[in-house]
Chain A
Amino acid sequence: NAGVTQTPKFQVLKTGQSMTLQCAQDMNHNSMYWYRQDPGMGLRLIYYSASEGTTDKGEVPNGYNVSRLNKREFSLRLESAAPSQTSVYFCASSVTSGSLSEQYFGPGTRLTVT
């Protein structure tokens, strides 16, 4: 099993450009998550999908949209990138909906917006 995979690993965007971060898991997990990680601030939840067909906002959703394409895939879109969105983005998945189970993380996407 590959676990949770993310593409791309690195990306540089200019302000105003758009892009989609891709995430896929092969563990048959129901729930998937997108986090951003900034120095000294830990992991902050952007959006999550408790189950296929549902998505909900997390702590910092502004400037992002998500799509739960199927049970395996959960994408994060930046419609108009801003320098404040420079961060490392992690996708994660867990067996059950809710937050009472282990989350498995992907390797991350390092995004720089100039």
Chain B
Amino acid sequence: GENVEQHPSTLSVQEGDSAVIKCTYSDSASNYFPWYKQELGKGPQLIIDIRSNVGEKKDQRIAVTLNKTAKHFSLHITETQPEDSAVYFCAASTEDKVIFGPGTSLSVIP
């Protein structure tokens, strides 16, 4: 079946460094790629998304890149802060369904 792989599963960075999380998807019909942040004890919340007609999107310290040919997309967080510590999920959506990656637990060490 269709799936989304996500790496790494855990990531620790020093405050101020950058963090990169990578995802690959299998369904070539996917055309919407959201990223969600889940803080402890809360539900996931959208932080950025990208559609298939765009290669890169940036929102302050967060950026997402998409390579449709290779079926790769990545989340980049610059100048990390302790409040960035959370679990991050990527997802790939078609018109019929959305499939989530297994998540990356990011720890930002002060």
Contact = CB atoms under 8 A, between A and B. Distances in A.
Interface residues of A, number: 21
* Dominant secondary structure of chain A at its interface with chain B: loop
Contacts of B41: 107-108
B89 A43 contact: yes
Contacts, number: 54
B95 A100 contact: yes
Chain B interface residue bracket vs A: 20 to 34
Interface of B: 4, 6, 9, 31-32, 34, 36, 41-46, 49, 89, 93-98, 100-103
B45 A99 contact: no
20 contacts: A40-B102, A42-B6, A42-B100, A42-B101, A45-B97, A45-B98, A58-B97, A90-B43, A90-B44, A98-B96, A99-B93, A100-B32, A100-B93, A100-B95, A101-B32, A103-B34, A103-B46, A104-B46, A105-B44, A108-B43
